[in-house]
Amino acid sequence: MNGADSSLPPETPLAVISEDFLDKAKELIQTEYDLLLQEKSQPLLAEGKTLEEAMDLIMEETSKATKMDPSSNEVFVQGGWKDPNGDEKVMAESLALEFDTLQEATSTLRKKNEKTESKLAVLTGGFAKRAQNTTAEILQIYNDLQNANIEGHVYSNLRDHEDRGAIARIEQLRSAIMRLRDDEARLQAQYNDLVAPPTAEIEEE
């Protein structure tokens, strides 16, 4: 800071507060808040107000009390809370400090999320690999099944075609056999006519 802040005590870094302590503090604050709301809402509920109406009245009363409190106009600057009284420099300092605080908190949260993500990647890496392998196996089985269905359809069509061709060939063979038998009978008759002596010559003898 500049020379105007030389009277301020030196900054002392705060000790790191564990997540468990922060969670417990949040629980205590929430518990106190709930008890306070319950305490203030009991008289209103006794008057016949609904719970929603009672909450609205309590919030309205709290808002009015906050606006009437002189400290409600104070902003946080380096060194504590201060009423800006329209001083733009004080407001700018407060906004800059708030921005830096949010930026630092965001950076810390991002690092924490990256660390958590890294741990999850290590913990679930085996499951993810198994899931990928299982997915690949399922896709391969599905492809094999599709190919088997296609091959079965092709083979069925070929079998039907062969069956129809076999029936046609059998009919052709039957027709050929019948023609051969007819030819054999005709040729046998011709042969018999050739080898048999004429009837007139037999009677003259």
pLDDT in tens, 13-38: 566 777 888 888 999 999 998 888 88
- Token readout for 29 is 């604050």
CA atoms within 13 A on the CB side of 86: 0
pTM, two decimals, is 0.33
> CA–CA distance from 5 to each of 14, 78, 83, 100 (Å)?
20, 9, 17, 19
> What per-residue confidence (pLDDT) applies to 141?
93
Taking Cα atoms as reference points, which of 39, 16, 17, 38 lies closest to residue 26? 17
* Alpha-carbon span 107 to 101, nearest angstrom: 10
Task: Give me the mean pLDDT over the 73-87 stretch.
Answer: 68
Q: Is the pLDDT of residue 82 over 80?
A: no
> What per-residue confidence (pLDDT) applies to 70?
64
* Alpha-carbon span 97 to 123, nearest angstrom: 39
